[in-house]
Amino acid sequence: METQATFKIWRTHPGGDGTFQTFKTTVTEGMVVLDVVHKIQAEQAPDLAVRWNCKAGKCGSCSAEINGNPRLMCMTRMNELDTWEQITVEPMRTFPPIKDLVTDVSWNFRVKKGIKKFKPRPADQPDGTWRVAQRDVDRVQEFRKCIECFLCQDVCHVLREHNKHDEFIGPRFLVYAANLEMNPIDSDDRIPDLKEQHGIGYCNITKCCTKVCPEHIHITDNAIIPLKERVVSRYYDPVTRILRMFK
Amino acid sequence: MAHQTHSYDVLIIGAGGAGLRAAIEAANAGVTVGLICKSLLGKAHTVMAEGGMAAAMAHNDDRDSWRVHFADTMRGGQYVNNWRMAELHAKEAPDRVRELEGWGAVFDRTKDGRINQRNFGGHRYPRLAHVGDRTGLELIRTLQDHTVYLGVDVHMEHTVIDLVLDNGRAAGVLAYDRANGQFKVFSAKAIILATGGLGRAYRVTSNSWEGTGDGHALAYRAGAELIDMEFIQFHPTGMVWPPSVKGILVTEGVRGEGGVLKNKEGRRFMFDDIPDNYKPQTAADEEEGWRYTQNDKSARRPPELLTRDHVARCINREVKAGRGSPHGGVFLDIAWIKEKLPNAAEHIQRKLPSMYHQFMQLADLDITTTPMEVGPTTHYVMGGIRVDGDTQMSTIPGLFAAGECASGINGANRLGGNSLSDLIVFGKRAGEYAAVWARENGAPRVDEGALAAIERTALDPFTRGEHGENPYKLQQDLQDTMQDLVGIVRLEGEMQTALGRLQEYKARLTRVGVTGGREYHSGWHTALDLRNLLAVSEAITLSAIERKESRGGHFREDYPEKLDQFATFNVMTKQGSGGAVQVSHVPIPPMPPELKQVIEEQKS
Ligand SMILES: Cc1cc2nc3c(=O)[nH]c(=O)nc-3n(C[C@H](O)[C@H](O)[C@H](O)COP(=O)(O)OP(=O)(O)OC[C@H]3O[C@@H](n4cnc5c(N)ncnc54)[C@H](O)[C@@H]3O)c2cc1C
Ligand code: SF4
Ligand code: SF4
Ligand code: FES
């Protein structure tokens, strides 16, 4: 079974701006958008730039905007799309372009370094390990499913529209911070940084990030809101504030 | 030509589990460390690993110990392993896994709060530390997040094209920066190759585009020795439908959780063919097999959990005999456990979340209600760079190798879960000894002339432009040849045909052309990969011709038996003078009596 499809793929020009280029190709059963992009690359545009690795939704490399929706190309099946007459594929718009569908996501790697690293408390067993119940790590394991696709960063309006890259770490790194803060073995405190440097206050809980997360992490409900609550109770709760004054 | 140049004490090529673990160790030893990888940090192949990492911590069964793990690894490898590496691996893996927890890894827990361990093929006791079915993600993220705070310089999306030697000693590399296509020189006192596997030499593979055998080929071209290249692991369970996902892995964890293999007649064909040396450890019937997967210590494992080479061949046989599934595989059924467990659907989703989503999203199939269709996929290469078991140094001074691109620990067949533990055990050792080497040796000289020659070859495809051959087409032809002629079942005549074709492809490679700018150019990149793919394909084919017997991942229809006279050596390939491949035998040193005894005591 073969069917025609028309793709409009974003191509950058040497200056840095770009335009859509139209490709017609045939699609067979079960194909995902990344397969079609690869087919076009092999047959019509060998220099087309696209990032990918696993083709199984595990590495978070192939993020793009498909018909305007931030998605993983390898997990978007052709038969999920309403029409094949005109499918647009463009890079994540929140990050500077490198070429075609590939963007410069290095900002994310720099941001991570600015978050205080994991710091274990002393081991509680003679062999240097810790006893931890499964229920105490269920939440952290949810956060650790993150494949760093940065689609949540792509949609967050604080970054996308307001360009607060210097003041706000974005949903991905709030999830990362939450994973550290809620890890029963970690002993550091990132609440002051979250408030002062990581800009958690910029998030106004629109939940756009949660909607696009391919790992279905409850970014807002399970990571951001609990962190916000910790910030509030530390800095704005009158009882804790008074207690802190006497410390 | 003027180049941007970086120099380090230790340069690591590859940021999978092995490369990152080496980086941590070297950085902790106080030397300067540079790390180069083809993709972004955290995207290396290791991220895809599912089932777990093997370490005899004995959390789920206190009968386990390094001795059992060692014996299992040797038996799985059919005794042509580097026994020293198998020994070190079995002894050191537990500490390497535990230390990950101190770096932030969050494993699944046992009831008493320790790291939980699961059953896997060829492992006598539950031994795989895991996180659901995304253990590789946990490993790579933990190592990555630990590394970035250690002052290691990471050069992402840089591809190493060739190594440069100084008087026979590793001196540096020429790489190119993918984003702008520019060359860069890296010089170092010690270099560690941690470049992973070569599944992309085959059409059906679980490997990503990165798996083009670069480290193998870089070392080979520099004059290092490769061994065991005939031993390729075809994982028994890859997806077979729809066509675009063919080859994507279905974790062995499915069988570990009770999934069974059936042919179209509904028969559990794995019970029909159990090798003698595994009979004492294999379940007598379906009931006993099921109890094993539910951690009943008195039960023996179901035949679905025999070693991968064996299971893959059984599947191949069912399909060839016309007893396969509609799309040329067999059925893998986990849904049946609803007969045994009350909340089976939830249980499956919790234990195998990414498998559940993978089939739901890519194949419209609910594994909690419907059997999957699966078939063999090229998964892992046991062969690779020959290294010293203790230090991981190759036969080139100052050049180290660790992880999948190194050879020795697995022998003729790797047990599932032994790779992730291999990465951390030998990644650490490589980092440690490379740092020592860097301390003890001065800076080598990187020869400009050699660099210029590498550059010219690399840019050749642009000079031929659009009149040249399409690199993608050549890659496909190569993959078809390896798949069809040097695959899971091998024959002398077919492999000779393959050799002939590989020579043609080499000629075609000199005609490959690409156009356009050098920035993020996939066609050009593929042209560069081809050189490596061809080198490793030739080494695989020649080694496979040389081993006239069947053992582990190497099965010859014309020599179907395992033969004693082939148990005493590893097949070695090396670049001879004049560029032709030299094939020879490296004798396996005699095993010390203590280790022999361990194997004997574990035989029953
Ligand atoms: C789907 C899947 C599931 C698996 N599941 C398991 C499992 O459950 N348990 C287990 O033990 N094993 C498993 N394996 C095997 C295991 O994942 C791999 O063998 C292992 O991750 C390899 O790690 P590595 O560090 O050697 O290399 P990789 O993780 O492959 O990393 C290679 C690195 O080298 C870099 N590189 C390569 N060439 C160059 C070059 N020319 N220049 C610069 N950089 C380069 C790459 O960019 C990458 O960073 C699985 C494999 C697959 C494919
Ligand atoms: S919920 Fe917060 S972090 Fe998420 S998209 Fe909205 S503003 Fe951004
Ligand atoms: S939180 Fe989800 S959307 Fe954001 S980077 Fe991680 S996986 Fe992607
Ligand atoms: S290629 Fe890995 S997530 Fe799409």
Ligand 4 centroid to Cα of residue B41, in Å, is 14
Name which of B103, B114, B179 is nearest A118 (Cβ-Cβ). Answer: B103
Q: What is the mean pLDDT of chain B?
A: 95
Q: Is B398 within the bounds of a domain?
A: yes
Asked if residue B1 has pLDDT above 60, the reply is no
Largest CA distance in chain A: 75
Please list, residue by residue across A72-111, b when 16 or more beta carbons sit within 10 angstroms of its beta carbon and e when fewer do: bbbbbbbeeeeeeeebbbbbbebbebbbbbbbebbbbbeb
Q: Is B165 within the bounds of a domain?
A: yes
Is the CB of residue B336 less than 8 Å away from at least one CB of chain A?
A: no
**Whether residues B40 and B141 fall in one domain:** yes
Query: What pTM did the predictor assign?
Result: 0.95
Which CATH number do you get for residue B430?
3.50.50.60
Asked if residue B78 has pLDDT above 60, the reply is yes
**Whether residues B293 and B366 fall in one domain:** yes
Q: By CA distance, what is A77's nearest residue in B?
A: B362
Residue-wise pLDDT for B294-305, tens only, equals 989 899 999 999
Domains and CATH numbers, chain A: 2-103 (3.10.20.30), 106-246 (1.10.1060.10)
Confidence of residue B289 (pLDDT cuts 50, 70, 90): very high
Task: Report the nearest-CA residue for atom 4 of ligand 2.
Answer: A209
Going from the C-alpha of B238 to that of each of B206, B207, B251, the distances in angstroms are 7, 11, 8
**Whether residues B40 and B170 fall in one domain:** yes
Q: Is B259 within the bounds of a domain?
A: yes
DSSP state letter for B331: E
Q: Is B603 within the bounds of a domain?
A: no
Q: Is B468 within the bounds of a domain?
A: yes
Q: What is the pLDDT along chain A (247 residues), one digit of tens a residue?
A: 578 999 999 999 987 789 999 999 999 888 999 999 999 998 999 889 999 999 999 999 999 999 999 999 999 999 999 888 999 999 999 999 999 999 999 999 999 999 999 999 999 999 889 999 999 999 999 999 999 999 999 999 999 999 999 999 999 999 999 999 999 999 999 999 999 999 999 999 999 999 999 999 999 999 999 999 999 999 987 766 666 665 5
CB contact under 8 A, A134 and B108: yes
User: What pLDDT does B20 receive?
Assistant: 98
User: What pLDDT does B387 receive?
Assistant: 98
**Whether residues B247 and B392 fall in one domain:** no
**Whether residues B219 and B94 fall in one domain:** yes
Q: Within 10 A of B28 (CB to CB), how many other CB atoms are there?
A: 14
Last residue of one domain, picked from the residues B360, B378, B396: B378
Stretch 151-210 of chain A: residues touching chain B, C-beta under 8 Å: 180, 183, 185-186
Which CATH number do you get for residue B294?
3.90.700.10
Is the CB of residue B112 less than 8 Å away from at least one CB of chain A?
A: yes
Q: By CA distance, what is A31's nearest residue in B?
A: B244
**Whether residues B76 and B218 fall in one domain:** yes
Confidence of residue B122 (pLDDT cuts 50, 70, 90): confident
User: What pLDDT does B2 receive?
Assistant: 63
Name which of A47, A54, A145 is nearest B523 (Cβ-Cβ). Answer: A47
Is the CB of residue B243 less than 8 Å away from at least one CB of chain A?
A: yes
Contact residues on chain A for B210, CB-CB shorter than 8 A: 53
**Whether residues B280 and B184 fall in one domain:** no
**Whether residues B224 and B211 fall in one domain:** yes
**Whether residues B247 and B225 fall in one domain:** no
Among residues B67, B75, B203, B235, the one annotated as catalytic is: B235
Query: Percentage of chain B surpassing pLDDT 90?
Result: 91
Contact residues on chain B for A75, CB-CB shorter than 8 A: 361-362
Residue-wise pLDDT for B424-461, tens only, equals 999 999 999 999 999 999 999 999 999 999 999 999 99
Q: Is B602 within the bounds of a domain?
A: no
Q: Is the dihedral of CA B76, B81, B83, B89 positive or negative?
A: negative
Alpha-carbon distance B252 to B51, whole Å?
7
Contact residues on chain B for A47, CB-CB shorter than 8 A: 514-517, 521-524
Task: Report the nearest-CA residue for atom 6 of ligand 2.
Answer: A206
Its domain, for residue B37, covers 4-233+379-448
Task: Report the nearest-CA residue for atom 2 of ligand 3.
Answer: A213
CB contact under 8 A, A118 and B106: no
Alpha-carbon distance A156 to B539, whole Å?
50
Asked whether B362 and B239 are in contact (CB, 8 A), the reply is yes
Q: What is residue B234's three-state secondary structure?
A: strand
Average pLDDT over residues B189-204: 97
Last residue of one domain, picked from the residues B448, B477, B499: B448
Task: Please enumerate in sequence order all residues whose Cβ is within 8 A of that of B599, keeping only pairs 6 or more positions apart, or say none.
Answer: B70, B71, B74, B75, B591
Asked whether A227 and A202 are in contact (CB, 8 A), the reply is no
Q: Is B255 a catalytic residue?
A: yes
Asked if residue B329 has pLDDT above 70, the reply is yes
Name the domain count of chain B. Answer: 3
List phi, psi (to 5°) of B105: -70, 145
List phi, psi (to 5°) of B480: -65, -45
**Residue B187: beta bridge partners?**
B7, B172
The candidate with the shortest Cα–Cα distance to B158, out of B527, B520, B531, is B520
Confidence of residue B604 (pLDDT cuts 50, 70, 90): low
CB-ligand 2 contact for A171 (6 Å cutoff): yes
Task: Report the nearest-CA residue for atom 8 of ligand 2.
Answer: A156
User: What pLDDT does B295 receive?
Assistant: 85
DSSP per-residue letters across B519-569: TT-HHHHHHHHHHHHHHHHHHHHHHHHH--S-BTTB-BTTS-S--GGGTTE
Task: Please enumerate in sequence order all residues whose Cβ is within 8 A of that of B457, keeping only pairs 6 or more positions apart, or say none.
Answer: none
Average pLDDT over residues B173-186: 97
User: What pLDDT does A240 receive?
Assistant: 64
Q: Is B327 a catalytic residue?
A: no
Alpha-carbon distance B376 to B383, whole Å?
19
**Whether residues B400 and B537 fall in one domain:** no
Which CATH number do you get for residue B544?
1.20.58.100
Q: Is B306 within the bounds of a domain?
A: yes
The bridge status of strand B4-13 relative to strand B33-36 is parallel
Ligand 3 centroid to Cα of residue A166, in Å, is 20
The candidate with the shortest Cα–Cα distance to A31, out of B206, B244, B249, B373, is B244
Is the CB of residue A119 less than 8 Å away from at least one CB of chain B?
A: no
Distance from CA of A132 to the nearest CA of B (A): 4
Ligand 2 centroid to Cα of residue B362, in Å, is 29
**Whether residues B201 and B248 fall in one domain:** no
Task: Report the nearest-CA residue for atom 7 of ligand 2.
Answer: A203
Is the CB of residue B145 less than 8 Å away from at least one CB of chain A?
A: yes
Last residue of one domain, picked from the residues B325, B344, B378: B378
Asked whether B18 and B198 are in contact (CB, 8 A), the reply is no
* Ligand closest in space to the Cα of A227: 2
CB-ligand 2 contact for A207 (6 Å cutoff): yes
**Whether residues B344 and B481 fall in one domain:** no
Distance from CA of B261 to the nearest CA of A (A): 23
